[in-house]
Amino acid sequence: MNLEAGNVCSVRLAVGETVRITNGPGDQVIDTWAFNANDPTEFMGMEHCRAWWLKLRPEVGDSFVTNRHNPLLKMVADTSAGEHDTVIACCNPDRYRVLGAEEGHANCQENLHRELSEQGMASAVTPCPLNLWMNIPSVGSNGLGREVPTKKPGSYVELEALAPALVVFSACPMDLLPINGVDGPKDGVRVEVI
Ligand SMILES: [Zn+2]
């Protein structure tokens, strides 16, 4: 399926199934969450993953664990420059309010919960997402940068399910900061179970 900028979609994966997310010109950040398909109180936790990885960004071969430290997904391919962020919270209404946007700005948090509802699920929390193609480099010994995505048109990431999962993708609508490129979000991505 095609996921347009600002929109949300999800896929259900059985064990061993893989979803491929293919970017367009390389400027669109995709906020990605994964939940235990049978229990949404268990979800992929970036802070839990980093406890195992001891690094900021995932690489091919790395597994993603849940808030209960059970393996849920595995990155099995990545043809991008690997600039995926695991640190920054998803955009939400308050983020846009403080940045001065008009009320009602599309945001990833509401996208997530709307998609969960459409899938008959709910979560009391908004986990920190895996921000695919979001370029937050580490700087010096204790800094983070905020850069535009590294353009690599058509690059893709593949995530394999290690347990039954509902994976949610929000094509981030952020247009007040240049995380989606200086022109803002404009290009969708392709999401397919392969
Ligand atoms: Zn967002």
* 104-148 pLDDT per residue, tens: 999 999 999 999 999 999 999 999 999 999 999 999 999 999 988
- Predicted confidence band of residue 25 (pLDDT cuts 50, 70, 90): confident
Contact 161, 17 (CB under 8 A): yes
Cα 90 to ligand 1 centre (Å): 5
Cα 7 to ligand 1 centre (Å): 10
Cα 113 to ligand 1 centre (Å): 13
First to last CA, the chain: 12
pLDDT at residue 178 above 90? Answer: no
Domain boundaries, the chain: 2-193
Cα 28 to ligand 1 centre (Å): 10
* 38-86 pLDDT per residue, tens: 999 999 999 999 999 999 999 999 999 999 999 999 999 999 999 999 9
Cα 89 to ligand 1 centre (Å): 9
- Predicted confidence band of residue 26 (pLDDT cuts 50, 70, 90): low
Least trusted range by pLDDT, from 50-54, 89-93, 174-178, 189-193: 174-178
- Predicted confidence band of residue 179 (pLDDT cuts 50, 70, 90): confident
Neighbours of ion ligand 1 (CB under 5 A): 91, 108, 172, 174
**What pLDDT sits at residue 183?**
73
Segment 8-21 mean pLDDT:
98
Among residues 178, 73, 101, 74, the alpha carbon closest in space to that of 134 is found at 178
Cα 31 to ligand 1 centre (Å): 7
**What pLDDT sits at residue 35?**
98
Cα 174 to ligand 1 centre (Å): 5
